[in-house]
């Protein structure tokens, strides 16, 4: 199967295909916050932490980059994790291969997610599973010293995301490569989308978009525009 056919056929790339088409049609400053490309699934917490991209994950991240408009001035930021780093490298490779321009590519620690006492958090995951721990966390039932509260993380996260978009130049595109939990927080806090029931429905290379037009910022998720869920200059 050709790479073009693979890009068009994988169901898990549906969000990615939509985001690429959307951002290519914009001429205003934009930002996309995406999950890393494909890794193996159903891994233990410790194996998940160090999991790298699959071969297909590498290839489709390159294709993601190749399909971005060559008119964009692109900045790529990524979490320190190996698979987000690999995704950022492959997207950059695709952009450059297509004749596009990368202004900057670098690590951004906050894209890793909320701060935690990893050994204690890993013990909770092993005992209860991620879904139960996640539910407890968003309902403020996890001690702050074990996992950073969602509101505290959001306050730190905001200036590194929409704060950057507010100062962006026309036709610039920022790509932030992160993890499903961070995207869930962004959906919840930026757009007011209650994602508790479909948390695990964030596909590889899928995520959210934001665009600044006429002084206002709008969110974009699965072919729908959303106003921000909070007052923002």
pTM of the entire predicted model: 0.94
Q: What is the DSSP letter of 25?
A: T
> In this predicted structure, what is the pLDDT of residue 196?
59
Q: Is 17 helix (H, G, I), strand (E, B) or coil?
A: helix
pLDDT band (50, 70, 90) for residue 76: very high
Percent of residues, the chain, with pLDDT higher than 70:
95
pLDDT tens readout for residues 148-191: 999 999 999 999 999 998 788 888 999 999 999 999 999 999 99
> In this predicted structure, what is the pLDDT of residue 224?
94
| CATH number of the domain located at residue range(s) 3-113+154-226 in this protein | 3.40.50.1240
Q: What mean pLDDT, rounded, does the chain reach? A: 91
Q: Where in the chain is the domain with CATH 3.40.50.1240?
A: 3-113+154-226
Cβ-based neighbours of 215, under 8 Å, separated by 6 or more: none
pLDDT tens readout for residues 96-119: 999 999 999 999 999 999 999 988
pLDDT tens readout for residues 198-210: 556 789 999 999 9
> In this predicted structure, what is the pLDDT of residue 143?
93
Q: Name the strands in the sheet holding 216-221, side by side, starting at the edge strand that comes first in the sequence.
A: 101-107, 73-78, 172-178, 30-35, 207-213, 216-221, 224-227
pLDDT over threshold 90, residue 42:
no
pLDDT over threshold 60, residue 84:
yes
């Amino acid at each position: 199967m050709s790479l073009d056919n693979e890009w068009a056929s994988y169901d898990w790339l549906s969000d990615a295909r939509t985001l690429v088409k959307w951002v290519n049609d914009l001429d205003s400053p934009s930002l996309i916050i995406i999950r890393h490309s494909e890794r193996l699934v159903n891994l233990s917490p410790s194996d998940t932490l160090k999991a790298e991209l699959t071969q297909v994950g590498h290839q489709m991240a390159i294709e993601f980059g190749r399909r971005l408009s060559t008119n964009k001035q692109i900045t790529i930021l990524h979490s320190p994790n190996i698979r987000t780093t690999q995704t950022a490298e492959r997207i950059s490779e695709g952009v450059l291969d297509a004749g596009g321009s990368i202004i900057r590519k670098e690590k951004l620690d906050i894209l890793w997610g909320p701060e935690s006492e990893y050994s204690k958090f890993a013990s909770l995951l092993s005992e209860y599973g991620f879904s139960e721990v996640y539910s407890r966390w968003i309902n403020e039932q996890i001690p702050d010293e074990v996992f950073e509260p969602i509101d505290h993380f959001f306050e730190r996260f905001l200036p590194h995301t929409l704060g950057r978009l507010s100062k962006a130049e026309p036709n610039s595109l920022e790509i932030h490569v992160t993890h499903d939990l961070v995207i869930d927080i962004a959906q919840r806090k930026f757009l007011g989308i209650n994602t508790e029931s479909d948390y695990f429905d964030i596909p590889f290379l899928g995520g959210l978009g934001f665009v600044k037009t006429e002084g206002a910022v709008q969110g974009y998720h699965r072919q729908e525009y959303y106003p921000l869920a909070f007052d923002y200059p």
